[in-house]
Structure 1
Amino acid sequence: MHAQEAPHEARLQHLEGRLAEQHRQIGALQALVERQQRELDALARELGDSRLDAMRARGDDPAHPLLPLAIGQSTVGLAADGTTHPSQTAPVAASVEDAPDVQADGPRADDAAGMTQVGRPPESAERPPEVAQIFDQPGVLTPRGRLVLEPSLQFGYSSNDRVALVGYTVIPAILIGLIDVRQVKTTSLTATLAARYGLSRRLELEVRAPFSYISSDTVSREIFTGAAQDNVFQADGKGVGDLELTARYQLNEGGVDRPFYVLWLRYKTRTGRDLFEVVTDCVTRCVANATGTGLPLDLPTGSGFTALQPGVTWLYASDPVVFFGSLSYLHNFERDDVSRIVLSGAPEGFPQTTTEPIGTVDAGDIIGFNFGMGLALNERASVSFGYDQSIVDRTKQNGEDAPGAVRVVLGTLVVGGSYRLGERTSLNVALGVGVTRDTPDVSLAVRVPVTF
């Protein structure tokens, strides 16, 4: 009897020992998962919304990302509330017996934990999520030590009507005099090369050099002549525009439920040929032109004023979209002793132009703001929608409002897309449609940023 009980007791002891060993292995796996969870929480706090943006760009499910463990090919899912759950596609282990022999406090557990890879890290830490660029000021800074060259081409078209009544009225709706009706159609093509360099993970510098070609057609009947047909006055201009220097600094790290703020300062030069440097057709009667049009014979490529523009850009990630916007104020520095060059209409052998003093000119300052939202379609493509508005103040001459100067509101609806062509190259396209009469009817911009 005792001989029969001995093998039975030995078998029970063997099973109990095996069960205890399995419990130790399960405890080691649980300790490893908890350690990985703590590391994941620390990374989530540090990287903020950039982790969600990286998952959206890869097409992963942000609610249940898969985090590979160091043991085999097992994965653990992270739920929205921060708790872990086994993935249905890759369980932790088929059975307890298939799990490797891992001790909770042994060297093998430490080695496994040291080789743990928690997800796939985003491209850069503590950076705002990237969206398709539709406005001039990008929201994502250049990484430290990287150089981005961005050639771009922008097309613009605008059509404005102007009616001038020259005369007087004797009774309402009856005019004695002449009516000057003009249609001004302007087409512009601007090629720009921008270079951005990341001085640190939160600071970058940018320089922009534009080259513009502008053509304008004015359809009008010559005033004071009583002409019965329309005439077309054509003018164009080309050359280097105004160079721009911009510094951007990311104020905070942002994160979950916290927006990113980027402060920037732009300085615009007046390297381009301005309105005071081109020749204007004579306003009064002259020999070559019976009436004169008062229009420039060559179009300027610059604004003629240096300007300083501070602003702030914000981005807020709310899965699956990213909201963004900016607020800015552009101050134009006034110019003293300004004059313009006008055709004199003198006969041959005499100077054909004369200089007319204007005095001090202060171009109106500009308050601008924009907002929009971006959506990643897949790991390569994204789209953005936005609205941009600028309020331009009146221009002053010699301390008073210039003749005909009014406050202008420019509003543009913008839609754009971005496609990543390679690891270093992207293609951005933005289409703008004017919603106010003073805004260009259409603008189309194509950018190709290349990272080095």
Structure 2
Amino acid sequence: MKKTKSFRGHSRSGIHLIGALALAYGGVASGADQPPTDVEALRKQVIEQTNHIETLKRQMAETDAKLAEIQKALGKEALSKTRGAGASPSRDSQPIEIAQAPQSAQTTPAAKSDTVGEPPAQRERVQQIAQIFEQPGVLTPKGTFNIEPGLTYGYSSSNRVSLVGYTIIPALLIGLIDIREVKRNTVTANLTARYGVTNRFELEARLPYVRRWDSVTSRPLAIGAGQEGLFNSDGSGVGDFEASARYQLNDGGADKPYYIGSLRFKSRTGTDPFEVLNEGTTSTRLSNGLQKELPTGSGFYTIQPGLTMLYPADPAVFFGSINYQYNFTRSNVTLNTTEGPVKLGDVEPGGVFGINFGMGLAINERSSFSLGYDFASVGTTKVNGRTPPLSVRTTLGTMLVGYSHQIDKTTSLNVSVGVGVTADSPDVALTVRMPMNL
């Protein structure tokens, strides 16, 4: 009996062992993922897997490179659309139609897609920059024609005290004391056309129409005048025609600045300040220096090279530019006065060094606002190689704020306000622009 039980126990253990070995052998024989027992086969499998991994790495690197190119292309496309959207900064946006950006300009784009499988166009966010400076930043896309009608109103006032006489003892003046208050209003309607020759090169033409009127209130105190005198003058007509060219110097991109070089030429199509009728030329006349008709142009040919920088940092765009305006000398200039023509000779206006900077911030996908400061230093004017006694360097400073709204895919509205911070700057300037891509 004992031997029988022992045999049965061994039999059961043997059966279980044989079953386990059969299952294990069957798994090895039928399982495709089990490693083979042969060393050469294992080595071959390792080599194949290594090659497969290297192939996957190369494919991943190629995919990353293609994705980077697509993102870069989307960024450039969004940037090129900013002018029509409002350039900039610009311009420009607008480079950026930052347009003006800052456009108006001038705007720097950023295209993002965070969801896998979602088309980038549906999540694209274009930063717009409300154009606050004259020169936009972002360029017009290749083959695109842009028309920008604009209207600017400027107002300035100043008080001036003129002393015409001589002093015999301190604080005692013999002669005339003329106190004047000058109020000047200017309305300028601009029609600007831009064409993108390439994605990096743009041409621009601008023709202004100027309407001006001045009111001068004067009171010669030293001769006992009992009431103030009022002198009104106005003028209107075509202003100075301008032509500009802009070229994007580098590729730029997200967190990389864009650099745009520009060259502007201004003609003398407006009414010459020397040909309008001036009242009086001698220092003994109280009305010396008053113009019966106001000019609509500067009277000098001008060339202005400049460099604009746009730096996108979502959701803001920082922009700035530096430029120098050179005014060509005029020879044999004659001043038209009520006492007849007066020969002045050679007149050389001073050069103008300018710098501006600002920031554009996107409110949403269709609206943005910009803040900036515009500075200009105007050199002294020389007549026949000499600087007249009353010719001094003039400093102009203006704080600007602008707003841009994209009306539709091709049209936007830009509004900007400038406030003078120096005595020689206009008190206020209001500008409305409506760039449209055709």
Bin the TM-score by the shorter chain. Answer: 0.7 to 0.9
1:4-62 deviation digits (Å, cap 9, x = unpaired): x99xx89x979989xxxxxxxxx999998876444223434x449658979x99xxxx8
Q: Is the partner of 1:39 in helix, strand or coil? A: helix
Q: Is the partner of 1:343 in helix, strand or coil? A: coil
How do 1:299-378 and structure 2 match up within 5 A? 299-344=294-339, 354-378=340-364
Query: Structure 1: how far apart are the matches of 2:206 and 2:218?
Result: 37
Select the residue among 148, 156, 159 that pairs with 2:157: 159
Q: Determine whether 1:66 maps to 2:114.
A: yes
Measured after TM superposition, the shift of residue 165 of structure 1 is 1.5
Measured after TM superposition, the shift of residue 168 of structure 1 is 3.1
TM-score using structure 2 length: 0.76
Structure with higher helix content = 2
Select the residue among 399, 412, 435 that pairs with 2:385: 399
Distance of aligned partners of 1:41 and 1:181 in 2 relative to their CA distance in 1, 3 Å threshold: same
Measured after TM superposition, the shift of residue 403 of structure 1 is 3.7
Q: Quick check: 2:240–2:268 contact (8 Å CA) kept in 1?
A: yes
How do 1:75-90 and structure 2 match up within 5 A? none
Query: Structure 2: how far apart are the matches of 1:244 and 1:323?
Result: 27
Aligned residues: 375
Select the residue among 425, 432, 438 that pairs with 1:446: 432
1:333-383 deviation digits (Å, cap 9, x = unpaired): 111111111113xxxxxxxxx211111111111000100111111110011
Q: Quick check: 1:130–1:139 contact (8 Å CA) kept in 2?
A: no
Measured after TM superposition, the shift of residue 316 of structure 1 is 0.9
TM-score using structure 1 length: 0.74
Query: Structure 2: how far apart are the matches of 1:310 and 1:223?
Result: 48
Q: What amino acid is the match of 1:312?
A: L
Distance of aligned partners of 1:382 and 1:285 in 2 relative to their CA distance in 1, 3 Å threshold: closer
Q: What amino acid is the match of 2:373?
A: Y
Select the residue among 205, 208, 214 that pairs with 1:207: 205
How do 1:204-353 and structure 2 match up within 5 A? 204-222=202-220, 225-283=223-281, 292-344=287-339
Q: Quick check: 1:246–1:266 contact (8 Å CA) kept in 2?
A: yes
Measured after TM superposition, the shift of residue 202 of structure 1 is 0.7
Measured after TM superposition, the shift of residue 447 of structure 1 is 0.4
Residue in 2 that maps onto 1:149: 147
Select the residue among 39, 57, 69 that pairs with 2:66: 39
Q: What amino acid is the match of 1:66?
A: D
Measured after TM superposition, the shift of residue 212 of structure 1 is 0.5
Measured after TM superposition, the shift of residue 246 of structure 1 is 0.3
1:367-409 deviation digits (Å, cap 9, x = unpaired): 0010011111111001111100010000111110124110000
Distance of aligned partners of 1:158 and 1:328 in 2 relative to their CA distance in 1, 3 Å threshold: same
Residue in 2 that maps onto 1:408: 394
Distance of aligned partners of 1:283 and 1:174 in 2 relative to their CA distance in 1, 3 Å threshold: same
Distance of aligned partners of 1:53 and 1:378 in 2 relative to their CA distance in 1, 3 Å threshold: farther
Q: What amino acid is the match of 2:326?
A: H
Q: Quick check: 2:310–2:318 contact (8 Å CA) kept in 1?
A: yes
Distance of aligned partners of 1:250 and 1:123 in 2 relative to their CA distance in 1, 3 Å threshold: farther
Query: Structure 1: how far apart are the matches of 2:432 and 2:30?
Result: 76
Q: Quick check: 2:79–2:138 contact (8 Å CA) kept in 1?
A: no
Q: Quick check: 1:47–1:255 contact (8 Å CA) kept in 2?
A: no
* Gapped regions of structure 2 (runs ≥ 5): 1-14, 35-52, 86-109
* Gapped regions of structure 1 (runs ≥ 5): 18-26, 74-116, 345-353
Measured after TM superposition, the shift of residue 227 of structure 1 is 1.1
Measured after TM superposition, the shift of residue 63 of structure 1 is 11
Query: Structure 1: how far apart are the matches of 2:345 and 2:78?
Result: 57
Q: Quick check: 2:164–2:283 contact (8 Å CA) kept in 1?
A: no
Q: Quick check: 2:154–2:185 contact (8 Å CA) kept in 1?
A: yes
1:80-119 deviation digits (Å, cap 9, x = unpaired): xxxxxxxxxxxxxxxxxxxxxxxxxxxxxxxxxxxxx6x3
Distance of aligned partners of 1:443 and 1:285 in 2 relative to their CA distance in 1, 3 Å threshold: closer
Q: Quick check: 1:283–1:291 contact (8 Å CA) kept in 2?
A: no
Measured after TM superposition, the shift of residue 317 of structure 1 is 1.3
Q: Quick check: 1:153–1:445 contact (8 Å CA) kept in 2?
A: yes
Q: What amino acid is the match of 1:451?
A: N
Q: Quick check: 2:361–2:369 contact (8 Å CA) kept in 1?
A: yes
Distance of aligned partners of 1:285 and 1:381 in 2 relative to their CA distance in 1, 3 Å threshold: closer
Query: Identity rate of aligned residues, in percent?
Result: 46
Q: Is the partner of 2:291 in helix, strand or coil? A: coil
Query: Structure 1: how far apart are the matches of 2:275 and 2:357?
Result: 37
Measured after TM superposition, the shift of residue 314 of structure 1 is 0.7
